[in-house]
Structure 1
């Protein structure tokens, strides 16, 4: 007969099994706040989502052996609402520029929590990407001419920071010498078309998108301010501490998206256009070779310093009275791990400041393009790939032939001679030198100065095009 003690012991063992049950499968949420229309964030959101790249890297071994994932995507038009949802625990990751990211860190701090700035996505150590536009018919050619005028800008954005720095450089009082009002880009587009504002300052892609659509003209590029700008990725610190492998997986997906963009910029510019409505030629302006910004996931010292500047500027704006421990807020731990897991050299990329290189042959001569300072490009309608030319003269001659053959251009690009940034050529100024050389400029004042130095003449795109054809005919 089994003793009462033995029966009680067996009962306790079975009760323990019943309570423990089978091993539980944990469902891990991966909730990401993206900014699809802020197209330089594409490698950190839109492409990962559309190409299902995150699922490819999420861990399923070790402590994640029995885990399942609930991947959630939410799209926003700016960084502030992403921060609100991250602080509320509704999002784990967020993509935004340095100014809203600084506010993100402060907001988490006020809530008794922490966020981490874990990677750069795309930016410019020169400042390109932010810009100021005026209505297409405005006589204004430079920022200096906007004294006493009304300029709208999304408040607390990276473009707001650029505008304040530019105003300070001019020696203006931002509260007396210019009227700066808050306006989202979707509102500013209509305001520009109806001449309700004198100018609008904005971030990627609007300073290029509005001119491309024909109702605005760019008069100031962030590169003139010389202050870096970028967008990057943040994560809830508690989440990162609990699921570090998931954070690394997310960054590995971003690395692959970046690689795909580099390999086939036209193809993925079309995808970005399909999702966002931002036309593919504008997407290519950023993501193609020699692009307006550089996709770079490493923490350049200039970007770290830019975050510190953002915090100080936000204090001056009285948008925050709190500082940030930037050594704790900015971390390269996860992106370094992602680079290593992807077989890439983080330190080599960190030291590389080059934009996406152009490896191409001149479409006119078939010879490799070795010098890129004067490169021009044509994207014809109904052609999947952009044609590259060593010089604007060569591109404009080819353009005339295409027009004659009934092959309209979808977009024409040129490199700014002064600023070194990529331009929409049909919105640029050109200097035609006595020897027939043609150079592109964003700013009329830069073109005027160069023309004076070289005894050249300043022309708009149409006039430069005619000059190229005349030169070509004379050469015959």
Structure 2
């Protein structure tokens, strides 16, 4: 009897301990179709990376974790749910992220920008497109036209800066209307809109789908842009180890993506419906943007500029202390625990490097300024070529073999950004060498300065075939 009583008491005591064990919610808002957020959301979720790093000792020894994921198509509704206490973390761009900080403050709370996920210190990623049949070739030709943009987005901020750089009055010289990406895609297809400004990945996605042309890249405004992750400050104060665990999972997602960009570009397509070739354009080696967890001065400035733009748009009448809003202690801790040097990464501005041999000659590629690439459908790896003319020669052979080409890429000769080659302009010099450019006017200016002929992709291809 005494033994039974003792065992029953022990069982009750154990049950009481478990009953008192805390259940900790980890509610993460992500944007799956905004592929810059992939290493802060989609990949962590799909690969089950978060559980690897969640603390399981000390004050967390008996904790039970309840991980919740919610997907959004833009930052504004994600912010609403964070402010309402329904989400603990959120991934979004600099502009909506700054609005997140303002919205928290206005609600008597605080959020923290804890890491960059991916971006461009020069501004690549945001862009302006026109219908494929439009005669417009540059931003200058949009004066007096209607331009749609997702309001309160990072693309909105880019558009306003681009208009200001032209010396235009945004109230008089252009008509800016609000339009979400999914609506803009339909409008561009049917020529119901003259131009559309958008964030990652739509300025490349729409041209890749064949119904739009990119006529402006954010790098032309030299306006740094990024996507990053935020956390409710009260949550971070209570559970700092969980914040660090989330960031360690993000660092691993980044490492995996860097090692096998084609594989994870395919995974993003499978989950989010954004074509793998567009994902690779951004996040493959020498990509349009750089995955980067560090708070470079340019990204801090992007937040400050976004806050100023919010004032301009009368979305807030007060500033936000950027030095308090951006908190790098958690990402520094995550780097240290991952065995990486944060300060070394902070000083690194290089694009994701490429080590490759020319698919035609087999020789190592040592100069990447004229790199061109072909992704053949059904092949696990992108083919690399030392020059656009080498790639176009290979393309002709591949097409003769009946191969389905997913994408052709080229590096812009002036900016170094990766381009969809079939949308690019080229200059052919007297040696038959091709140099790629985003815009017709850039190619023509280069040809005038250096000699050569400006050609669109079809003409460049035909000229090369004729010279063989």
1:165 and 1:26 map into 2 onto residues whose CA distance is: 48
1:55 and 1:176 map into 2 onto residues whose CA distance is: 53
Are 2:270 and 1:264 equivalent residues in the alignment? no
- 2:117 is matched with which residue? 121
After TM superposition, give the deviation of residue 469 of structure 1 in Å.
2.3
- 1:457 is matched with which residue? 453
Are 2:187 and 1:171 equivalent residues in the alignment? no
1:245 to 224, 241, 248: 241
1:162 and 1:303 map into 2 onto residues whose CA distance is: 14
- 2:17 is matched with which residue? 22
Are 2:406 and 1:410 equivalent residues in the alignment? yes
1:466 and 1:381 map into 2 onto residues whose CA distance is: 23
2:381 and 2:245 map into 1 onto residues whose CA distance is: 32
After TM superposition, give the deviation of residue 193 of structure 1 in Å.
1.2
1:282 to 272, 278, 281: 278
TM-score (norm: length of structure 1): 0.94
Give matches, 1:371-390, under 5 Å. 371-390=367-386
Are 2:208 and 1:212 equivalent residues in the alignment? yes
1:200 and 1:229 map into 2 onto residues whose CA distance is: 18
Are 2:178 and 1:182 equivalent residues in the alignment? yes
2:171 and 2:121 map into 1 onto residues whose CA distance is: 28
Tell me the SS of whatever aligns to 2:36.
helix
- 1:425 is matched with which residue? 421
Are 2:230 and 1:234 equivalent residues in the alignment? yes
Tell me the SS of whatever aligns to 1:134.
strand
After TM superposition, give the deviation of residue 408 of structure 1 in Å.
2.5
After TM superposition, give the deviation of residue 21 of structure 1 in Å.
4.0
Tell me the SS of whatever aligns to 2:381.
coil
CA deviations on 1:346-403 (whole Å, 9 max, x unpaired) are 0100000001001111111111111111100000111110000110011111111111
TM-score (norm: length of structure 2): 0.96
Are 2:299 and 1:314 equivalent residues in the alignment? no
1:452 and 1:121 map into 2 onto residues whose CA distance is: 40
1:452 and 1:458 map into 2 onto residues whose CA distance is: 9
- 1:5 is matched with which residue? none
1:326 and 1:220 map into 2 onto residues whose CA distance is: 29
After TM superposition, give the deviation of residue 332 of structure 1 in Å.
0.6
Tell me the SS of whatever aligns to 1:164.
helix
1:403 and 1:115 map into 2 onto residues whose CA distance is: 53
2:16 and 2:183 map into 1 onto residues whose CA distance is: 57
Give matches, 1:93-132, under 5 Å. 93-132=89-128
1:391 and 1:41 map into 2 onto residues whose CA distance is: 31
2:50 and 2:174 map into 1 onto residues whose CA distance is: 46
- 2:319 is matched with which residue? 323
Are 2:60 and 1:64 equivalent residues in the alignment? yes
After TM superposition, the structure 1 stretch with the greater mean CA deviation from structure 2, 420-429 or 401-410, is: 401-410
1:325 and 1:460 map into 2 onto residues whose CA distance is: 47
After TM superposition, give the deviation of residue 78 of structure 1 in Å.
0.4
- 1:7 is matched with which residue? none
Are 2:185 and 1:198 equivalent residues in the alignment? no
2:350 and 2:447 map into 1 onto residues whose CA distance is: 29
1:394 to 390, 393, 403: 390
1:276 and 1:359 map into 2 onto residues whose CA distance is: 29
After TM superposition, give the deviation of residue 454 of structure 1 in Å.
2.7
1:449 and 1:285 map into 2 onto residues whose CA distance is: 26
- 2:76 is matched with which residue? 80
After TM superposition, give the deviation of residue 178 of structure 1 in Å.
0.1
After TM superposition, give the deviation of residue 455 of structure 1 in Å.
2.5
- 2:134 is matched with which residue? 138
After TM superposition, give the deviation of residue 98 of structure 1 in Å.
0.6
1:300 and 1:22 map into 2 onto residues whose CA distance is: 46
1:365 to 361, 366, 372: 361
Count of aligned pairs between the two proteins: 457
After TM superposition, give the deviation of residue 149 of structure 1 in Å.
0.3
After TM superposition, give the deviation of residue 409 of structure 1 in Å.
1.3
Give matches, 1:155-170, under 5 Å. 155-170=151-166
CA RMSD of aligned residues (A): 1.4
